Chains A and B, each alone.
Chain A
């Protein structure tokens, strides 16, 4: 990132290739809408390019990138014209077509559904771990809350996800048996 800030365009390509997928999924699972996710994803990178001179090497680049992404999403949903994150539609209309969606496994959809159903504070903690690979200290820094608060949110989120997954497995098993 420092190289890109100094004018090395190739350095940006390396950064982008490394973080494009995790960042996109982090935004997509919060926005719950691929079109909106595309816009927010692009806006996030624009912010990064504009503020490239402000980046300091003291903080890791992934933390800074996801911090920008989180703020972008929050800013969007805090606008008066938009509703709260928790009130967004439950499931995103998938980027793939209906045929590909039919091929998705039950477990993939159920985990995505379970994450989408989490409260926004718990969801962002889970996604920062799953997509960004951050530990609790880094998540606390990105979200701007204490480590204990993060841990508490994560604990509730995991309990809820487990419950949701068990329910989905039971439902899926029942449907198989009936079939």
Chain B
């Protein structure tokens, strides 16, 4: 708290200055009109710019849009993440051949198991030679079908999905083709068997030779093998 004398002195000083100003009036300069206008325009522009930049009550939209964009980006990245962990879209030739080999071995194993079961049941049914002859032919056709190359498109042109679909189609075609060949071969063998039973041995041998040319991989039944061995023996003796 200042003493009153000090306050008085301060006020006295100010009064003295005011008296000086009153005695010696100074010119009252004012800014030029152009400067006035420039300042006023600048102030108005600043206010208008702020008003257009800030929409009242809509400030939350910016935050909402930012959050939406972030969510969409996160979703896209999550959706695309599993695809990046998948194996290459075009499998190599080695992997394709491996799958083919596995497929063939599975088919061969199943055919062998089928043949073994058939032969076991065929031994029990010894009184039915015609059917016995038919079964090896069927199993041979199955083995042949299992050993047939799978029709697969070039791996460079197929994706993994296409490859699996083609594989399934090839298996289905094999399943459809196998019974037809089976039936043809069986019918042919039946005919040869009938010729043999009718005593037409030469004709039966000729038919069997033709059969072997057409179906070289077909597993012949025992009587046909005996007939074939007879042919070879005869050819060897000749």
Contact A107/B23 with A135-B14, A151-B13, A155-B13 known, Cβ cut-off 8 Å: yes
Is B30 an interface residue when CB atoms closer than 8 A count as contact?
Answer: yes
Residues of the A chain whose Cβ atoms lie less than 8 Å from the Cβ of B47: 4, 7-9, 12
A158 contacts B46, C-beta separation under 8 Å: no
Contact A42/B39 with A129-B14, A158-B16 known, Cβ cut-off 8 Å: yes
> 1/0 per position for B13-35, CB-CB distance to A under 8 A?
11011101101111111111001
Residues of the B chain whose Cβ atoms lie less than 8 Å from the Cβ of A45: 39, 42-43
| Closest B residue by C-beta to A162 | B20
Is A61 an interface residue when CB atoms closer than 8 A count as contact?
Answer: no
Nearest CB of B to A158, in Å: 5
Is A130 an interface residue when CB atoms closer than 8 A count as contact?
Answer: yes
Is A87 an interface residue when CB atoms closer than 8 A count as contact?
Answer: no
A136 contacts B29, C-beta separation under 8 Å: no
Is A145 an interface residue when CB atoms closer than 8 A count as contact?
Answer: no
Is B38 an interface residue when CB atoms closer than 8 A count as contact?
Answer: yes
B13 contacts A165, C-beta separation under 8 Å: no
Residues of the B chain whose Cβ atoms lie less than 8 Å from the Cβ of A105: 25
Residues of the B chain whose Cβ atoms lie less than 8 Å from the Cβ of A25: 28-29
Is A142 an interface residue when CB atoms closer than 8 A count as contact?
Answer: no
Residues of the B chain whose Cβ atoms lie less than 8 Å from the Cβ of A111: 20-21, 24-26
Nearest CB of B to A75, in Å: 18
Nearest CB of B to A133, in Å: 9
For window 111-147 of chain A, which residues contact chain B by CB distance below 8 Å? 111-112, 115, 126, 129-130, 135-136, 147
Determine the distance from Cα of A52 to Cα of B16 in the docked complex, in whole angstroms: 36
Most A CB atoms within 10 A — which of B16, B31, B39? Answer: B31
> 1/0 per position for A1-43, CB-CB distance to B under 8 A?
0001001110011001000110011001000000000100110
Residues of the B chain whose Cβ atoms lie less than 8 Å from the Cβ of A71: none
Residues of the B chain whose Cβ atoms lie less than 8 Å from the Cβ of A158: 13, 16-17, 20
Is B51 an interface residue when CB atoms closer than 8 A count as contact?
Answer: yes
Determine the distance from Cα of A50 to Cα of B39 in the docked complex, in whole angstroms: 12
Identify which of B17, B21, B36, B50 contacts A154 (C-beta below 8 A): B17
Across chains A and B, which 10 residue pairs bring their CB atoms closest together, nearest first? A111-B24, A107-B24, A24-B31, A45-B39, A12-B43, A49-B46, A9-B47, A9-B44, A136-B10, A21-B30
Chain B residues proximal to chain A, CB less than 8 Å: 9-10, 13-14, 16-18, 20-21, 23-32, 35-36, 38-40, 42-44, 46-48, 50-51
